[in-house]
Amino acid sequence: MKRNSRAIGSVVMAVLAVAAAWTLRTGLDLWTAPPSVTEGETRPASTAAPTATPRPAPVQAPPQQPVPAATATPAPSPSPTPDPVDETPEGWMLRLVKPDCPLPEDFTVELAKVAGGQFDARAAGELERMLADAKAAGCELRLVCGYRDTARQQNLYEQKKRQLEAAGMAPARAADEAARWTPPGGCSEHNLGLGADLLPADGINAEALAWLEAHAAEYGFIRRYTEECEKETGMAPMSWHYRYVGHTAAARITEQGVCLEEYREDLGQYGGR
Ligand SMILES: [Zn+2]
């Protein structure tokens, strides 16, 4: 069933994310590392094709990883930001941004500073509330990347494309493959200000990503690039990339196991919202 495979995929991605976090800790730039071009040699586990793994063992923290203190009572966080009413396919919360759906060149967004970066000011409060609650639950997360400007995005894309070509990939294929991981400038949800890359703060606490997957919708976020939605999103599955879509959409998307693309198409069935 879809929800079962989604759950299994989630466990796989949690394992991969821990490996990704380890890669970060060891000084490599995850966002510029080639995904899967080095067949035959050691490659970051974060980029292994998840479909190659049959049924993964349950995620367990490494032995040296201290168990998060579960005795502390999480401090109640401030009330959630009222759900904005602009939940339409044309609205800011559900806006699609991807390689075949770039932002206009004159796009601007009001940003707010958050720990680890910047985020759309209308959703920054919910991001902070989510991170505070995760920390209180013993699952501290770190914002690795929030908003990223278009020029920086384009640089990362070109850098990745060059790496893939240097590894022997034909230019056309390298362009496509690079875009699946780091889209060109103006084509990333990080340029929109509503994409957040989140990893365990200590780099290895797999429970932190499990907490995120279980609770993100309560704060208006979804895990955007899942295995199940790869065809719709055109992006490689990423356990660390979350997208703010608002509370209503996040609850429905998560509950139904659908993609943002599908949700937008089906908006009519929810009374035209
Ligand atoms: Zn991301």
pLDDT score, position 88: 72
pLDDT score, position 195: 98
CA distance 220 to 271: 20
Q: How far is the CA of 181 from the centre of ligand 1 (A)?
A: 9
* Residue of 35, 67, 110, 30 whose CA lies nearest to 204: 67
- pLDDT tens digit string along 202-252? 998 999 999 999 999 999 999 999 999 999 999 999 999 999 999 999 999
Q: How far is the CA of 183 from the centre of ligand 1 (A)?
A: 10
The residue among 40 and 91 whose pLDDT is bigger is 91
- Flag whether pLDDT at 178 surpasses 90: yes
Confidence band of 150 (pLDDT split at 50, 70, 90): very high
Confidence band of 40 (pLDDT split at 50, 70, 90): very low
pLDDT score, position 65: 39
Confidence band of 77 (pLDDT split at 50, 70, 90): low
- Flag whether pLDDT at 60 surpasses 70: no
Q: How far is the CA of 192 from the centre of ligand 1 (A)?
A: 11
pLDDT score, position 86: 61
Q: How far is the CA of 238 from the centre of ligand 1 (A)?
A: 8
Confidence band of 50 (pLDDT split at 50, 70, 90): very low
Q: Which has the minimum average pLDDT: 16-30, 121-135, 249-263?
A: 16-30
Structure tokens at 260: 């943002």
- Flag whether pLDDT at 23 surpasses 70: no
Q: How far is the CA of 168 from the centre of ligand 1 (A)?
A: 26
- Greatest distance between any 2 Cα atoms in the chain: 54
Confidence band of 85 (pLDDT split at 50, 70, 90): low
- Flag whether pLDDT at 103 surpasses 70: yes
- In angstroms, the first-to-last Cα distance of the chain is 28
- pLDDT tens digit string along 105-139? 999 999 999 999 999 999 999 999 999 999 999 99
pLDDT score, position 34: 35
Decide yes or no: CATH 3.30.1380.10 for domain 2-33+91-270. yes
Report DSSP state, residue 16.
H
Give, to the nearest 10 degrees, the angle between helix 206-215 and helix 124-136: 130
Q: How far is the CA of 31 from the centre of ligand 1 (A)?
A: 8
Q: How far is the CA of 29 from the centre of ligand 1 (A)?
A: 13
- Flag whether pLDDT at 101 surpasses 90: yes
Q: How far is the CA of 271 from the centre of ligand 1 (A)?
A: 32
- pLDDT tens digit string along 189-204? 999 999 999 999 999 8
Average pLDDT, the chain: 78
Burial of 131 (0-12, 13-18, 19+ CB in 10 A): buried
Q: How far is the CA of 224 from the centre of ligand 1 (A)?
A: 9
pLDDT score, position 158: 98
